[in-house]
Amino acid sequence: MATRNDTAAPPTKEGGAAPGRPPADAVSPEAARKRARLSRRWQRDMRWSPYAFVSPFFLLFLAFGLFPLIYTGWASLHQVELTAPTDMSWVGLRNYTRIFDDEFFWNAAKNTLTIGIISTVPQLLMAMGIAHILNYKLRASTFYRVVMLAPYATSIAAASLVFVLLFGRDYGMINWALHFVGIDAIDWQGDKWPSQIAVSTIIVWRWTGYNALIYLAAMQAIPQDLYESAALDGASRWRQFLHVTLPSLRPTILFTAVVSTIGASQVFGEPLLFDVNKGSSGGAEHQFQTLGLYLYEQGWVNQHLGRASAIAWTMFLILIVIGIVNYVISRRLRASS
């Protein structure tokens, strides 16, 4: 906050000085011509410079964002092999019908959904609780915020490798801790649910603090007098949270939900590196293979880029549907409140 004021201050002085400068009135014809020329240049500048400012972004975006997006759709209608990516032969929708008949696709889709739910829901709920606590007057509050962001600074690769060891079946720390509460060793890699929980844990660990900060920022933007008037009306702390905090946070919650959904649909590095068999199938029985991993397996291991493109576009379409559902639900919620 302080920094913003710092930067705003010196230029204001400049602005204050500007009117003091004498405007050139009473001009010779030559000066008038010069001014006309300047003003033409001025107008051109005013008119075109905004486009000059945004064009580098959009040029790069066209090349590395929009073109690939459309081209993936085009490639998904062809048979393309990784070994000869320029050799494309038209197959129509066959890539799509093939993946829809593929049990591994559906398996990966289901895994992505369940991993998405068991990673996103606890993550956002915990983030909300932590943000609420961080919103109190705290000692060393910056310390907690920085510490909670440390997992965000850790890469997927490093985090996944550590969690592989922590979740080890025979010598892992988590099973070792569980045996004290009388739980037998869990096969965190081999069994379906434990492995999906383990993969989700990596995601939850990395992103909870980050989301907590986003909620905290939104909470701090809520005007204090809303709470004061709620308190005057006799609302308890919990009711204040329900009736003041949550409604004010609705746009932020929607935002984090959308971002997390997109993130969850793409989970790739965690299941790839969590696989002790060093494969790309997400466990011996594909028990934690996600769509992202399946796309990689089809495209780069089995070398069918066309089919991988069809998977990518299917993922995109699913996301659009989720986005629309999200939008409808949030509108309903707004209408009902």
Partner 1 sequence: MTTTLTKPPADAAPEPPKRSRGPKAARAGGQLHAGPVAYLILIVFSIVSLFPLVWTAIAASRDNNRLAESPPPFWFGGNLFKNLDLAWNDANLGEAFFNTTFVAGVSAITVVILSTIAGFAFAKLRFRGRGALMLLVIGTMMVPPQLSVIPLYMMVAKLDWTDQLQAVIFPSLVSAFGVFFMRQYLIQALPDEIIEAARVDGASSWRVVWHVVFPAARPAMAVLGMLVFVQTWNDFLWPFLVLTQTGNPTVQVAVAGLGRGYTPDQSLIMAGALLGTLPLLIVFAIFGKQIVGGIMQGAVKG
173-202 residues near partner 1, rule: CB under 8 A:
173, 176
Query: Among residues 96 and 316, whose Cβ is nearest to partner 1?
Result: 316
From 326, 311, 335, 337, select the one nearest 99 (Cα to Cα): 311
Token code pair at residue 74: 């085009």
CB of 73 to partner 1, least distance (A): 9
The DSSP code sequence of 224-236 is: HHHHHHHHHTT--
CB of 287 to partner 1, least distance (A): 19
258 near partner 1 (CB under 8 A): yes
CB of 109 to partner 1, least distance (A): 14
From 177, 179, 249, select the one nearest 216 (Cα to Cα): 249
Q: Among 31, 37, 100, 155, indicate the residue that binds partner 1 (CB under 8 A).
A: 155
Beta bridge partners of 81: 84, 304
From 57, 77, 54, select the one nearest 66 (Cα to Cα): 57
For residue 17, the tally of other CB atoms under 10 A from its CB is 9
271 near partner 1 (CB under 8 A): no
Q: Among 117, 165, 324, 329, indicate the residue that binds partner 1 (CB under 8 A).
A: 165
CB of 121 to partner 1, least distance (A): 18
316 near partner 1 (CB under 8 A): yes
**Which x/- pattern over 92-121 shows residues binding partner 1 (rule: CB under 8 A)?**
------------------------------
**Cβ proximity of 102 and 298 under 8 Å:** no
Q: Among 8, 26, 181, 335, indicate the residue that binds partner 1 (CB under 8 A).
A: 8
SS3 89: strand
Q: Among 27, 146, 246, 329, indicate the residue that binds partner 1 (CB under 8 A).
A: 146
Q: Among 92, 139, 232, 238, indicate the residue that binds partner 1 (CB under 8 A).
A: 139
User: What end-to-end distance do the CA atoms of the chain give, in Å?
Assistant: 33
Please state, in angstroms and rounded to a whole number, the distance separating the CA atoms of residues 190 and 198. Answer: 11
Q: Which of residues 30-69 bind partner 1 (CB under 8 A)?
A: 38, 45-47, 49-54, 56-58, 60-61, 63-69
241 near partner 1 (CB under 8 A): no
325 near partner 1 (CB under 8 A): no
**Cα-based distances in Å from 12 to 3, 4, 6, 23:** 15, 13, 11, 20
234 near partner 1 (CB under 8 A): no
